[in-house]
Amino acid sequence: MSNKPLVPAIDGWHTMDAKPHLIGSQCSDCGTYFFPAQYQYCRNPACDSTDFLEVQLSRTGHIWSYTNACYKPPAPFVAAEPFEPYAIAGVQLEREQMVVLGQVVTGTGVEDLKVGMPMELVLETLHETDDDIKVTWKWRPLPAGTYPETGA
Amino acid sequence: MSKEIAIIGAGMHPWGKWGHNFVQYGVAAAREALADAGIPWQDIRFVSGGATVRCGYPGYVAGATFAQALGWQGAEVNTSYAACASGSQALAAARNKILAGECEVALVVGADTTPKGFLAPAGGYRPEDPDWVRFYLGITNPTYFALYARRRMDVYGDTLEDFAAVKVKNSRIGAKNPRARYRKCFSAEDVAASAMVADPLRLMDICATSDGGAALIVCSLEYARRIGKADAPRVAAISTVTPTFASGVVEMPDIATDSAAAAGVEALSYRSSIPLKAYEEAGIGPEDISLAEVYDLSTALELDWIEDLKLTPRGEAAAWLRKGDTALGGRIPVNVSGGLACFGEAVPAQAIAQVCELTWQLRGEAGDRQVKGARVGITANQGLFGHGSSVIVKR
């Protein structure tokens, strides 16, 4: 087991705790959410607000669609050798009414997924460098009956 | 005042993986289009190029690059970049110039030399660029196509056999197109035996990247009459409208959709919004369309486009495909050029190539691929970040 520190692959896009959340923003005027976070302009055409709050997005949602990557993507992706295919899901967040893409956790393939399936956000290694382990958000199926009623 | 312009010349350099300088393809396409129009290069007063971002600075200023290669003769130049919609925007620039009375005849040209394998983003550490982020996280172009394909299976009951049937249809007709890169008739078994790339899409469901070039000579209706081409096909509409907020479809290269959480927002994806404007501008409806050239980046996407163009009701494209209604001889033939399935994508040339095919079809010069009695054709293609374009050509 490596003693390298865990660091986010992309700074500031998610929390680093045991029940991680994506870090987005919300327009103070119209309530529109943004991921990645956006603090300069509101993309709602009916809103010209420049006032935004940092928010933690819902860490659970339902699969909008899914696929996998059977071939190694080009750089900047850093692939393990040998390359292991991974699944990818677009997950619909109810409160935010948006779909967020991400890899699905290692060990869960497309055969384990269905449109509408409840998922939760977790952190997993994206790749290692000489100095640290870069982690990112991934989606993991929620066991039946554990989807939180609040959607948060 | 008519907002139409005439297409008096069309030309293409065959698609392939030739590995030459892109300028060579553009010049070959331009020369063929000029010969087709029967006018000298010196008569062109506006050169509108589709840019390529993979061939260095000459590609960024493609209009000037092609003008120089063809020989400086004092024409004005323009370069448009909008990913795969570049060609349509270059065509729109030429149309504006002609309709404004600032020039009578223009060359619209795009060409590309593409690298092997996945298209990759610009280098460096650039987390503010969604295109960089999605590649870093392992999300390639086929990921998006596959997500849409899976939605079709889930929502409409499309099958892997349906997707394969699109490839079979397009390869059968593309085999008859001398300008296509892939000219082999593939079977459903061939598709099923090809490697899985992004479930449910296999290698043969997904378009390749190619080298190629395409060009059009466009002019005012008055100019066309003067040179005896009053009956040339006409550009009746060019639509490059955006989607409306908050589109719920995750579009390449974004990592997330808009949020529709704010009250009172209505959503229309760009694929749905583009044809509406095109039909309105041309003053026609889907029932008037004789044939369509749509952006089959994947087999499943052809089915999405058919529905977005309202050629069939939503969810019924696969049923039409099964009945042969989208094949040559069917109710509305789709991609009788062979489509991207047979061409592979040469980004800045592709939207122009679609219009070339419509031009030949509407003139009745498409040979074995001819759609009988073709009067009106429509194109549709995809840019990036959820925009694209649609062009209507009529005769």
CA distance B54 to B64: 17
CA distance A118 to B6: 54
Does the distance separating the beta carbons of B248 and A101 come in below 8 Å?
no
Per-residue pLDDT of B308-332, as tens digits, reads: 999 999 999 999 999 999 999 999 9
How many CB atoms within 10 Å of residue B68? 14
For residue A141, is it left (φ>0), alpha (ψ between -120 and 50) or beta?
beta
Choose, out of B54, B119, B134, B136, the residue to mutate when testing the contact with A (most A CBs < 10 Å): B136
Contacts of B22 (CB under 8 A, 6+ apart): B52, B55, B58, B59, B111, B112, B113, B211, B213
Q: For chain B, which domains are there?
A: 5-117+210-226 (3.40.47.10)
Which of B120, B200, B257 comes nearest A75 by C-beta?
Answer: B120
Host H or E run for residue B340:
helix B339-343
pLDDT tens digits in sequence order for chain B, 395 residues long? 579 999 999 999 999 999 999 999 999 999 999 999 999 999 999 999 999 998 999 999 999 999 999 999 999 999 999 999 999 999 999 999 999 999 999 999 999 999 876 667 777 888 889 999 999 999 999 999 999 999 999 999 999 999 999 999 999 999 999 999 999 999 999 999 999 999 999 999 999 999 999 999 999 999 999 999 999 999 999 999 988 888 888 888 999 999 988 865 566 777 888 999 999 999 999 999 999 999 999 999 999 999 999 999 999 999 999 999 999 999 999 999 999 999 999 999 999 999 999 999 999 999 999 999 999 999 999 877 668 999 999 99
> CA-nearest residue of chain B to A30?
B262
Kindly state the DSSP code that residue A85 receives in the 8-state scheme: -
Does the distance separating the beta carbons of B138 and A77 come in below 8 Å?
yes
Per-residue pLDDT of B108-154, as tens digits, reads: 999 999 987 666 777 788 888 999 999 999 999 999 999 999 999 99
Three-point CA angle A35, A41, A46, nearest 5°: 100
**Which two three-digit tokens encode residue B187?**
């079977």
Does the distance separating the beta carbons of B132 and A102 come in below 8 Å?
no
Does the distance separating the beta carbons of B198 and A69 come in below 8 Å?
yes
> CA-nearest residue of chain A to B244?
A45
Strands laid side by side in the A52-56 sheet: A33-34, A23-27, A52-56
Does the distance separating the beta carbons of A90 and B250 come in below 8 Å?
yes
- Distance to chain A for B150, nearest Cα, Å: 6
Which of A65, A86, A102 comes nearest B147 by C-beta?
Answer: A65
Does the distance separating the beta carbons of A97 and B260 come in below 8 Å?
yes
CA distance A138 to B139: 12
CA distance B75 to B108: 13
